[in-house]
Amino acid sequence: MAVFKKCLVFLLVLLTAFALQIIFFSPISPDILELPLTSPSASVPPSNNQLQKVIKLGEGLLEGPEDVAVDEDGALYTATRGGWIRRLHRNGSWEDWKKFESNTLLGIATPKRDGLIVCDADKGLLKFTDDGVTVLASHVGGSEIRFADDAIEASDGSIYFSVASTKYGLHDWTLDLLEAKPHGQILKYDPSTQHTSILLDGLYFANGVALSKDEDFLLLCETFRFRCLKYWLKGESKGKTEVFVENLPSGPDNINLAPDGSFWIALIQIVPQGMEFVHTSKALKLIISNFPKLVELVQSGVKKKATVINVAANGNIIKRFDDPDGTVVSFVTSALVFEDHLYLGSLKNDFVAKFPLK
Ligand SMILES: *[C@@H]1O[C@H](CO)[C@@H](O)[C@H](O)[C@H]1NC(C)=O
Ligand SMILES: [Ca+2]
Ligand SMILES: [Ca+2]
């Protein structure tokens, strides 16, 4: 009996030590993730397989082209893994335009004058021109910019850009998801002073940014909140933030203004089907975060879908296109309209997909 008791005490001590280890050495301090409603709201059109009709551009040449942008001459740019910025000329030929030592180039935007603005999740906000590359912003308020995600330039030259997380980098984004706390920011770079300031703080993974046609508001996507916000830049609501579109079926990534004043948003699956339970328990998330293999498991299968939506300037969802099982395109992270076609970037594909809108 005494031996049994000793064993029990030993076991309890061991379990307690294990629990303390998990709690105190966990890389995260989690909150519950608010998942989208399981029955999507009536305003979201049903899933379809329209995106299976795409044409693949630059297949094999482009590794993980996360975002796409078009310049005044109609050349299409994308930043790929390995640091190459490649562009597609109107005559159909791809050019290896610029190379930067980085594996973490994400969102891009074409400025009014020549060149390309690029977000590097390691280095901050960059600008490429034919002459080379400049780091426009690497710090804000004395801290390093950790996870720059997407940028847009206004006509006065100001650049609005997102920081997905001030706590975790690109390669640890699953930890940021498990923690489910608002570490995201919107920053503003002022070209006249070369100063960067914090415009908005406390965002749930700030991702794509876009300006409205009149530049009276900025839209920003909060991936881990399944919504996009509207930040007023002009008018009587100037400086105020409101919800633009919410309860999306999955996490909004990049967003782009279309010529008609509407917006195209790519939705990425961040919680694979059957894994929702993980996000409803803080204790479970603490345990998982201690084991890299389990962290990987939380994300397994998320890259097998593609969804893009078209949202009017008033926030109404107009259209939706999917490849529901990723047969042709998967994990589409951006959608851009150019001359009646959608151009789709993806962190997973090795091509840019072209989809006819007419
Ligand atoms: C396509 O256009 C680009 C830019 O104008 C030019 O540099 C390139 O040589 C052209 N390629 C072909 C095959 O015509
Ligand atoms: Ca962009
Ligand atoms: Ca993005």
3-state helix/strand/coil string of 45-67: CCCCCHHHHCEEECCCCCCCCCC
Residue nearest to atom 4 of ligand 1 (CA): 89
Cβ atoms of 192 and 159 within 8 Å: the answer is: no
* C-alpha atoms less than 13 angstroms from C-alpha of 61 in its C-beta half-sphere: 17
- Which residue among 89, 90, 130 is best mutated to probe the pocket of ligand 1, counting the most ligand atoms within 8 A of its Cβ? 89
Residue nearest to atom 9 of ligand 1 (CA): 93
Residue nearest to atom 13 of ligand 1 (CA): 93
Q: Which residues have a beta carbon within 5 Å of ligand 3, which is an ion?
A: 107, 149-150, 207, 253-254
**Would you state the structure tokens that stand for residue 178, as one six-digit string?**
């498990």
CA 4 / ligand 3 centre spacing (Å)? 57
Instruction: Look up residue 205 and give its amino acid.
Output: F
The answer to whether the Cα torsion of 315, 318, 106, 179 is positive or negative is positive
Residue ranges per structural domain of the chain: 58-255
- Closest to 332 measured CA to CA, from 357, 302, 312, 356: 302
- Which residue among 77, 93, 94 is best mutated to probe the pocket of ligand 1, counting the most ligand atoms within 8 A of its Cβ? 93
For residue 91, the ligand 1 atom closest to its alpha carbon is 1
Q: What CA–CA distances, in Å, run from 67 to 63, 149, 200, 247, 254? A: 12, 10, 23, 23, 7
* Least confident segment among 135-139, 163-167, 237-241, 275-279: 275-279
Question: How many separate helices (H) and strands (E) can be counted in the chain?
Answer: 4, 26
Residue nearest to atom 6 of ligand 1 (CA): 89
Question: How confident is residue 3, by pLDDT bands cut at 50, 70 and 90?
Answer: confident
Residue 114: per-residue pLDDT: 85
Question: How confident is residue 39, by pLDDT bands cut at 50, 70 and 90?
Answer: low
Q: How far apart are CA 347 and CA 265, in angstroms?
A: 15
Kindly give the residue spans of alpha helices, DSSP state H, lying in 110-216: 173-179
* Least confident segment among 24-33, 60-69, 189-198, 250-259: 24-33
For residue 92, the ligand 1 atom closest to its alpha carbon is 1
- Ligand 1: residues with CB < 6 A are 89, 91, 93
- Count the Cβ atoms, other than its own, within 10 Å of residue 120: 25
CA 252 / ligand 3 centre spacing (Å)? 9
The burial of 56, by beta-carbon neighbours within 10 Å (0-12 exposed, 13-18 middle, 19 or more buried), is given as: middle
DSSP letter at 5 equals H
Taking domain 58-255, whether its CATH number is 2.120.10.30 is answered by yes
Q: How does pLDDT run across 295-311, given as a tens digit for each residue?
A: 999 888 777 899 999 99
Q: How far apart are CA 174 and CA 182, in angstroms?
A: 14
- In degrees, to the nearest 5, what angle opens at C-alpha 258 toward C-alphas 346 and 256? 40
Element (H, E) at 117: strand 116-120
Residue 1: per-residue pLDDT: 60
